[in-house]
Structure 1
Amino acid sequence: MKVKQFLIAALAISMSLGAVAQEKAAFTPSGKATGKVFFNYHYDMSDGANQESSFEIKRTYFGYKYQISENFTASVTFDVGKNDGGSDYSAFLKKAQLEWKMSPVVKVSLGMIGLEQFSDQEKFWGYRYIMKSFNDEYGFGPSADLGIKAKFKISDDFFANAFIINGEGYKKVQDDDGKQRFGADLVYHHKGLIAKLYIDANSATVVDGTGNENDVTATAFSAFAGYKFSDHFRIAGEYNKMNNATKYSKVADNHDREGLSFYSTYSFNKKVEIFGRYDYLTSNTLSGETGKWNLAKNGDALTTGIQYAPVKGVKMALNYQAFMHKDVNAKDNSMLFVNFEFKF
């Protein structure tokens, strides 16, 4: 727990340092509303598919951002999408955060905050409306949660983030044990290169098969590197590992998952580009078992397609998505999509 105490101290010190900042008198507060919609039509070519084709709205975001002063910004975002209860269009509070620019090198965010685990990967991938980035897609971490984080500018090329959050994600409240998730990352960004190391940890009391209670610590680790060779071509890869958890919010002793993701884009011009991505997901074998505990969901995923962006705020893509199961008894998925993103 010394690491957690250190992070708490670092956040407290950074907040105290910003208290001496002076605001300029000429600033005029302002704000704007935003919206984003993910819409698609897909055709399922998998053997034995129950639903051959469908139109869907997978996600809709509504938000408002207000610049209170030169150093304070407030923002609220609602995420409208399918929930575990079966409703297709339930609204969740995705973000309700206050950002405080304490100094040129320290910025603190608190409330329901956007997280850093896969933010850089998602931005580099660039096709969130088609498919989530690896950590988000396979449940290695949430995109937002209740808590506090601080971003530090170490140099023109190095940045660090430290955070303490509830750990259950933005769709759930804090669990009964009241234990938090804490972690940090280090990002290097120079010209076309970006590299990132991330780690977090959270603990929970787990009851084993004999009824004994044990404190188990779950961890997540990721390493990411991407390079943009020019305005036309970019390529990236990442490795992700999660220990002692079946999902970021579900601690389970000795249940591990890991995987790789590689993706690349070639842009012909500002409107047309082609892209491809490959994911590999696997899990460990539990003591006394002969097969991997997550075999039903282990496998290889392939996504490839072409995107057309006719005007600013509108994107559309024809793409193919497949998932090849490691379980020989499971049927592979094969789907053709036409995805749209429109925003204001």
Structure 2
Amino acid sequence: MKRAYLTFANNVSDDLSYKLTYDIGSNEDDSAYTAFLKVAMVKWKSRLGDISIGMQGMNMFKTMENTWGHRFIAKMPMDTYKFSPSADLGIGVTRSFGLVSTSALIMNGGGFKKAEMDSHKKLSFHAVYGEYKLNKKDGFNAGLSFSYEPYDKDSVTVENTSIMGLFGGYAGNGIRAGLEFDTKKNKDAKAQIISTYVTYRLSDKISLLGRLDMYDPDTSVGKDGVQDIIVGVMYNAEKGLTIAPTFRMFTREEGDGKNSVVINFQFVF
């Protein structure tokens, strides 16, 4: 078992709720199992929108993650290639305007596994037109994500990192598919991600899936990109239990690649 989530959630009233989530998995020091407090937030439904305070999920790729729908198989590209953490500490507001859903956050910027390292804050904005939970409902969506974070280049110089993502998705007739284009810019480099993913439901029990990620850490440098392909089958064995054997092919423009067969399990209770 590589990762487990333990979540506690409760509605205090019609307008106030809280949520706690522990993320249990490996860390950067190669510890097999370390528990991180990933979410510890209070949500208040106000006239301005839903206001969330505390450690909470980032808004940079949540809609795309819903379209992909298989977090237990692979993280989203922005998370994999360190464009954005999946959670951070701060305050945010979400509000819908008809078919347009928006989210704005002011965060520490270090993510949920690291303490804040400086006095700068990260600003992020997410907007989507259409159905933002394509893993739950049929429809389509299109939108963008943007974040801006200053950082100390040295003791006297402040630079900034900006990240932008454009995305779209569709679900219907047993097919769910998405496409995203992400960029990360600072003074030293411009990184880029192109990713597409699709799931085709053959029956209530069996689905086929595929995903292609193309990542370039610096578009001004040649032959430093990587490509990651995932294809597989998902089998819903019982309610709450999913088994997914996948084949993965990781290649570099220069250097050795890697092929592997991975069997993923998801148990939800």
Fold in common (TM above 0.5) = yes
* Alpha-carbon displacement from aligned partner over 1:261-298 (angstroms, at most 9, x marks no partner): 01111101221100111111113266xxxx45x93xx2
Aligned length: 263
Q: CA–CA distance in 1 between the matches of 2:168 and 2:30?
A: 37
1:274 paired residue number:
208
Poorly superposed stretches of 4+, deviation over 2 Å: 283-286
2:30 paired residue number:
86
Q: CA–CA distance in 1 between the matches of 2:177 and 2:54?
A: 34
1:198 aligns with 2:145: yes
2:178 paired residue number:
236
1:10 paired residue number:
none
- Partner amino acid, structure 2, of 1:340: F
- Partner amino acid, structure 2, of 1:140: F
1:319 aligns with 2:266: no
1:343 aligns with 2:242: no
2:188 paired residue number:
254
SS in 1 for 2:63: helix
Decide whether the 8 Å contact of 2:23 with 2:36 is kept in 1. Answer: yes
Change (3 A) 1:192 1:80: same
How far off is 1:310 after superposition?
2.0
Q: CA–CA distance in 2 between the matches of 1:187 and 1:309?
A: 30
| Greater C-alpha radius of gyration | 1
1:161 aligns with 2:95: no
Which is strand-richer, 1 or 2? 2
How far off is 1:255 after superposition?
2.0
Gaps of 5+ in 1: 1-56, 245-252
How far off is 1:173 after superposition?
1.3
Q: CA–CA distance in 2 between the matches of 1:109 and 1:185?
A: 15
Q: CA–CA distance in 2 between the matches of 1:60 and 1:194?
A: 30
Decide whether the 8 Å contact of 2:243 with 2:263 is kept in 1. Answer: yes
Q: CA–CA distance in 2 between the matches of 1:129 and 1:262?
A: 17
1:63 aligns with 2:4: no
Q: CA–CA distance in 1 between the matches of 2:239 and 2:88?
A: 30
- Partner amino acid, structure 2, of 1:278: L
1:171 paired residue number:
113
Q: CA–CA distance in 1 between the matches of 2:198 and 2:219?
A: 32
1:141 aligns with 2:84: yes
- Partner amino acid, structure 2, of 1:272: I
After TM superposition, the score normalised by the length of structure 2 is 0.93
- Partner amino acid, structure 2, of 1:332: G
SS in 2 for 1:309: strand
1:299 paired residue number:
226
* Alpha-carbon displacement from aligned partner over 1:151-179 (angstroms, at most 9, x marks no partner): 01111x1111111000000001111x311
The structure whose RCO (Cα within 8 Å, separation 6+) is larger is 1
* Alpha-carbon displacement from aligned partner over 1:14-65 (angstroms, at most 9, x marks no partner): xxxxxxxxxxxxxxxxxxxxxxxxxxxxxxxxxxxxxxxxxxx221111210
- Partner amino acid, structure 1, of 2:74: M
- RMSD across aligned positions (CA): 1.6
Change (3 A) 1:174 1:319: same
1:332 aligns with 2:266: no
Decide whether the 8 Å contact of 2:192 with 2:219 is kept in 1. Answer: no
Which is helix-richer, 1 or 2? 1
Q: CA–CA distance in 2 between the matches of 1:282 and 1:76?
A: 35
- Partner amino acid, structure 1, of 2:257: D
After TM superposition, the score normalised by the length of structure 1 is 0.74
1:107 paired residue number:
50
